[in-house]
Structure 1
Amino acid sequence: MSEFTRIAPEEAQKLREKGAVVVDVRDPQTFASAHIRGATHLDNTSIASFIDEADLAKPLVVVCYHGNSSQNAAAYLASQGFAEVYSLDGGFELWRNAFPQEIAVNSND
């Protein structure tokens, strides 16, 4: 199954508070400069090991710049066996406006 649900930042934050995993598919430099606190960066070189080591039962929120690329990544991750996959509508840019206190800047947090 490759189904996922598009959600708003407020819904994503509620999922985070309940232990959802957040993955960011933006380019490495952009992720390094600012990202959702606690997010994991995923790219073509890290996705296989991420899937191998992940708890497929945990909710997974996929983030990109504006909410477009994350939909493709979310569909792929859902097809890999994740039970509950979400794509963040509006992406990191909308998240930054909604939850500026939840942004890690120039750090690995």
Structure 2
Amino acid sequence: METYQCINIEQAVALMEDGTVVVDIRDPQSFAAGHIVNASHLSNENLHTFITGADMDQPVIVCCYHGHSSQSAAQLLIGQGFDQVYSLDGGYQLWQANKPEMCSAPEA
């Protein structure tokens, strides 16, 4: 894969069932207020650590607010050598509306 692919919620769920990594690039406060279950927060501060510690062959789904910023972040990961990177269409907003049972509760 030379570029990322945009995927819908159903495709993301199927990939997650196979162990795909989910990263959320929203701001820390939004992430703490709720995110896709088992997602990791990815920011400029921890990007290098994520990249150096990641299995480049394992698929990654990138999530943002509405599905726009995740596209450039997904392309950045492709440029860093990741094999399979996906951008979640509709972002967390659409995910939360359709899969509330797969969202974390706000962190205390």
TM (norm. structure 2) is 0.96
- Tell me by how many angstroms 1:2 deviates: 5.1
Q: What runs of 5+ residues in structure 1 fail to find an aligned partner? A: none
- Superposed structure 1 runs of 4+ greater than 4 Å apart: none
Equivalent pair of 1:2/1:77 in contact (CA under 8 Å)? no
- Tell me by how many angstroms 1:98 deviates: 1.7
Against the structure 1 CA distance between its residues 107 and 2, is the aligned structure 2 distance closer, same or farther, given a 3 Å change threshold? farther
- Tell me by how many angstroms 1:105 deviates: 1.4
- Tell me by how many angstroms 1:107 deviates: 3.3
- Tell me by how many angstroms 1:106 deviates: 1.8
Given residue 45 of structure 1, which amino acid in structure 2 is its aligned partner? E
Q: What runs of 5+ residues in structure 2 fail to find an aligned partner? A: none
CA distance in 1, matches of 2:5, 2:107: 29
Output aligned runs, 1:1-109, within 5 Å: 3-107=3-107
- Tell me by how many angstroms 1:6 deviates: 0.2
CA distance in 2, matches of 1:28, 1:37: 15
Larger strand share, 1 or 2: 1
Given residue 49 of structure 2, which amino acid in structure 1 is its aligned partner? S
How many percent of aligned residue pairs carry the same amino acid?
48
Total equivalences in the alignment = 108
TM (norm. structure 1) is 0.95
Report the RMSD for the aligned CA atoms in angstroms: 1.3
Deviation per residue, 1:21-50 (Å, 9 max, x gap): 000000000000100000000000000000
